[in-house]
């Protein structure tokens, strides 16, 4: 997640909130990264819930 946060200058929490509401990326080339980032963040949230 840190690599994505640095690349897009955005914290994962803020990114994910926009992603789940359907906000589109500024650039079409970001779509694959955003899908992967959202998946990684969802897994992280699931693991945090187990703690």
The pLDDT, as a whole number, for residue 23 is 94
The pLDDT, as a whole number, for residue 10 is 97
Domain boundaries, the chain: 2-50
**What is the rounded CA–CA span in Å between residue 10 and residue 50?**
25
The pLDDT, as a whole number, for residue 50 is 92
Per residue, the 3-state secondary structure of 7-47, as one string, reads: HHCCCHHHHHHHHHCCCCCCCHHHHHHHHHHHHHHHHHHHH
The pLDDT, as a whole number, for residue 31 is 95
The pLDDT, as a whole number, for residue 51 is 80
pLDDT tens profile 4-45: 999 999 999 999 999 999 999 999 999 999 999 999 999 999
């Amino acid at each position: 997640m840190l690599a994505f946060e640095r690349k897009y200058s955005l914290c994962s929490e803020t990114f994910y909130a926009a992603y789940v509401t359907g906000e589109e990326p500024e650039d079409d080339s970001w779509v694959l990264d955003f899908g992967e980032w959202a998946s990684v963040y969802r897994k992280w949230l699931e693991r945090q819930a187990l703690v």
